[in-house]
Chains A and B, each alone.
Chain A
Amino acid sequence: MEIDPVTNGNTDTVMAEPAPAIAPSRPVPSSRSSQLTESIKLEHQLLRVPFEHYKKTIRANHRSLEKEVSSVVSSVGDLADNDWSKDVAVSRLTSLVSRLQGLKRKLEEGSNVENLQAQRCRARIDHLDSADVENITEWNNTKLKRILVDYMLRMSYFETASKLSESSNISDLVDIDIFREAKKVIDALKRREVASALAWCADNKTRLKKSKSKLEFQLRLQEFIELVRADSYKQAILYARKHLTPWGATHMNELQHVLATLAFKSTTECPKYKALFEPQQWDVLVHQFKQEFCKLYGMTMEPLLNIYLQAGLTALKTPYSFEEGCTKEDPLSQESFRKLALPLPYSKQEHSKLVCYISKELMDTENPPQVLPNGYVYSTKALKEMADKNKGEIKCPRTGFVCNHTDLVKAYIS
């Protein structure tokens, strides 16, 4: 095949352009698609929280409209069936008219609230969509900040979390409010007050019912026990009649067990009932609330940081990380990281990856490893640089062994 020397330059440039265009475009769609699927699964929390709020608003608006409409209909029916004097009819009809006006206003307000919430959901979906090959470092940076804000919120460092999310412009992507809400309830529970917890249960009744949650029942039981502890038996019995009987159908055994505390004093030594009077019961309640809360919003019980950190540490954990001369760049060279990584498994390497001691670069097909006569291995580029500076002389940096550039041998490591 003859290559025309005159057009050689042209064909070169023509060939050079399509090649880079083809190469990246083929792998990108498949990796992006799988990355996105993983993204959605892992970012469940991100999308779920605003969606739960949106759903709740929609359903509440549906309900209130239904109620209003049916009450208006029945009022009209009531009006029409009876004989009213003109004045009464006029006044009643006018009040119905103003009710309709109020309804219209409420609908508009409800619609506005819904739109804001829908916008929030959309903003987050768009954020997930925006992860592209070009801005992947920035996107990952944002993800890192999100993980950190999540950790701070769970540890209740609210000021730090707000400041961080403000300065990094991720306020749309984090849910500071619901964590504040949760903290209020948890603090109240720690003070042995069930009121806010019960309010939260009432607020999310349908959802809790769907997941068959026992939280409200447990809260009521605890209140009952507190009444018994304070020796106000009559009140306790009234309370039980009012609040505990509806749960009797499903949780009879537990109900009976707790009701029996009426027969015991709070200082009882009988182990079965002593346990019910323990202050640790409150801690159990706090834990249960946290569980229900996290389940409702599709969140993990542990901070995201714990999960990602553990995954990262185990992926980075190699026997070399614990050696003396370990590079400072490896997180596992530091004592605190080593402590955290202690119970985790080591990572497995399936392919050789050699890092040049001199240049700290990877030795791959473009920069293959070369072997000195004493068995030490360095990258071709680093050795060539050294030879160029020292008139062909190579000195092994780890042993001091000296040889010539021509004594080097290329190794084949797959």
Chain B
Amino acid sequence: MDPIATVKDGFNQVAKRQKHYHSISQAVTDRAFEGFVESLVQILTKNDPKTVLTELKLKLDSLLPINHLQESQKETNTSLTKFEKVLGKSDVFPASISIDLDHQLVDKMLVEYLYRQGLFEVGELLIKEAEVEVDDQLSEVIARSLEIHRVTEPLKEKDTEPAMRWISENSEKLKEEASKLELELVSLKYWEILRQRKRPEALRFARAYFPKFASLHSVKIRKLIVALLWVRDLENYPHAEELFPLGWEEASRELTKLYYNLHDQPSSSLLAVALSAGVESLPRLLKLIRVMGLKEEEWGEMKELPVDLELGDEFRFHSVFVCPVSREQSDVYNPPMMMPCRHVLCKETILRLCLCCSTRRFKCPYCPAYTTASACRQLYI
């Protein structure tokens, strides 16, 4: 059963009951008001307050039915308690080690994140409020983020000038990825000019920028030129989407990545990467702690986690070979070895299979081939 639906239901119940309560209380108040006014009129017209008032007192139960109100209140309360149960208890987070994270380090990482995201004002505020020490490393990060922002911000307005300038300034260092990106930017800008139906300008633009791509990307250039004939009907130009594999936003992101790679910096904020890894792996980690019955600090005392947290591939930065037989990670002392049948096992497994005798024949666990330890080659991943 969809858990969000349960939460929504529970909440709707509460809201419904409360609405019911309000309508009752409004009706009751209105009725009582009318009744009182009536009695007031009666007293003013007749002369005997006592009888009118006694009458009023008798009528009171029907005018102000306290029972109804109380019942409705009770119903609302029950639904409130039920909803609280649906929300569950708040003790899901034992995954904190008691050691405080050095908040100065974290603050610096935070400043870096903010500047990379282009949130310069927030970054400045943080430096002030958290009294972050802006050392050389941090000021370099700030300078870099400002520089790349000057190039990518105009792209939001579809102004490719700064970007093109930057690419040409750094062309020898950038090589191939840059030229693909350059082509993309040029095509996007050209398309934009065409969309504004400025045919002569488009032609001028094409003459200025397309020639250098003509040899390698002739097909694409041809398609772009032919689009001149479709100026009045650009949306229906066949295969238009193929001309722009990236689009403005993606191109801007690629440009940023390129920039940081050039300056030997990580292509995105490391704090963001670590936190995203955390968001992905926390559920499994919590389950592990729960299943192992560990307390708060105990999980940090392990040397190695007993279970794979199964991070996505985007967090895979290093090659890891895990022997399929022993399930051990290979390292310098236990490298992967390839057998003549092309299957790969770690060295220790192979030694175990051949009983440490390098001329003894053993069968590959995966195929019918026999081989010896000396016939295996070490692999370097």
Q: Are B304's CB and A129's CB within 8 A?
A: no
Partner pick for B320 among A65, A300, A353, CB 8 A cutoff = A353
Listed stretches A88-96, A238-246, A281-289; interface member:
A88-96
Q: Are A309's CB and B60's CB within 8 A?
A: no
Q: Are B308's CB and A350's CB within 8 A?
A: yes
Q: Are A336's CB and B39's CB within 8 A?
A: no
B36 CB contacts on chain A under 8 angstroms: 93, 96-97, 100
A295 CB contacts on chain B under 8 angstroms: 90
Give B269-311 as 1s and 0s: 1 = Cβ < 8 Å from A's Cβ atoms.
0111111111111110100000000000001111111111101
Q: Are B320's CB and A352's CB within 8 A?
A: yes
Q: Are A305's CB and B87's CB within 8 A?
A: no
Distance (Å) between the CB of A381 and the closest chain B CB? 15
A336-383 contacts to B (CB < 8 Å): 336-337, 339-340, 343-355, 357, 362, 369, 371, 374-377
Partner pick for A125 among B8, B29, B64, B276, CB 8 A cutoff = B8
Q: Are B32's CB and A100's CB within 8 A?
A: yes
A343 CB contacts on chain B under 8 angstroms: 97, 99, 300
B315 CB-CB contact with A under 8 Å: yes
A72 CB contacts on chain B under 8 angstroms: 32, 64
Q: Are A355's CB and B4's CB within 8 A?
A: no
Q: Are B322's CB and A331's CB within 8 A?
A: no
B375 CB-CB contact with A under 8 Å: no
Q: Are A302's CB and B56's CB within 8 A?
A: no
A37 CB contacts on chain B under 8 angstroms: 3
B96 CB-CB contact with A under 8 Å: yes
Q: Are A375's CB and B377's CB within 8 A?
A: yes
Q: Are B338's CB and A86's CB within 8 A?
A: no
Partner pick for B305 among A84, A90, A347, A357, CB 8 A cutoff = A347
Complex Cα–Cα for A328 and B263 (A): 11
A36 CB contacts on chain B under 8 angstroms: 2-4
Q: Are A328's CB and B50's CB within 8 A?
A: no
Partner pick for B278 among A167, A310, A319, A347, CB 8 A cutoff = A310
Listed stretches A5-13, A40-48, A179-187, A267-275; interface member:
A40-48
| Chain A interface helix/strand/loop/mixed | helix
Of all chain A residues, the one with the shortest Cβ separation from B83 is A51
Partner pick for A312 among B54, B278, B302, B319, CB 8 A cutoff = B278
Complex Cα–Cα for A167 and B121 (A): 10
Q: Are A104's CB and B30's CB within 8 A?
A: yes
Q: Are A300's CB and B93's CB within 8 A?
A: yes
Partner pick for A376 among B47, B300, B380, CB 8 A cutoff = B380
B208 CB-CB contact with A under 8 Å: no
| Chain B interface helix/strand/loop/mixed | helix
B109 CB-CB contact with A under 8 Å: yes
B113 CB-CB contact with A under 8 Å: yes
Interface size class of A (residues with CB under 8 A): 35 or more
Listed stretches B100-108, B152-160, B180-188, B351-359; interface member:
B100-108
B329-365 contacts to A (CB < 8 Å): 329, 331, 336, 338, 342-344
Distance (Å) between the CB of B87 and the closest chain A CB? 6
Of all chain A residues, the one with the shortest Cβ separation from B54 is A80
Partner pick for B3 among A33, A96, A315, A346, CB 8 A cutoff = A33
Listed stretches B124-132, B194-202, B215-223, B239-247; interface member:
B124-132
B76 CB-CB contact with A under 8 Å: yes
B79-94 contacts to A (CB < 8 Å): 80, 83-84, 87-88, 90, 92-93
Given contacts A80-B54, A164-B119, A354-B319, contact A128 B4 (CB under 8 A): yes
B273 CB contacts on chain A under 8 angstroms: 312, 329, 331
Partner pick for B40 among A90, A103, A143, CB 8 A cutoff = A90
Q: Are B379's CB and A348's CB within 8 A?
A: no
Q: Are A352's CB and B283's CB within 8 A?
A: no
Partner pick for A305 among B106, B313, B380, CB 8 A cutoff = B106
Complex Cα–Cα for A313 and B101 (A): 12
Distance (Å) between the CB of A285 and the closest chain B CB? 20
Given A86-B47, A107-B26, A347-B309, 16 more A-B residue pairs with CB atoms under 8 Å apart are A69-B64, A83-B50, A89-B52, A97-B36, A100-B29, A114-B18, A147-B275, A164-B119, A310-B96, A311-B278, A314-B281, A315-B277, A315-B280, A316-B317, A351-B322, A362-B316
22 contacts between A and B (CB under 8 A): A36-B4, A45-B90, A51-B84, A70-B66, A73-B64, A79-B57, A85-B49, A89-B43, A103-B29, A140-B276, A159-B129, A164-B122, A312-B274, A315-B285, A336-B105, A339-B105, A344-B97, A347-B308, A354-B320, A362-B313, A377-B381, A412-B366
Query: Nearest 10 CB-CB pairs, A to B?
Result: A312-B278, A308-B278, A298-B90, A312-B277, A89-B49, A320-B318, A80-B57, A315-B281, A330-B317, A80-B53
B residues with a Cβ closer than 8 A to A are: 2-4, 7-8, 11, 15, 18, 21-22, 25-26, 29-30, 32-33, 36-37, 39-40, 43-44, 47, 49-50, 52-54, 56-57, 60, 64, 66, 69-70, 73, 76, 80, 83-84, 87-88, 90, 92-93, 95-97, 99, 101-103, 105-110, 113-114, 119, 121-122, 125-126, 129-130, 264-267, 270-283, 285, 299-309, 311, 313, 315-322, 324, 327, 329, 331, 336, 338, 342-344, 366, 377-381
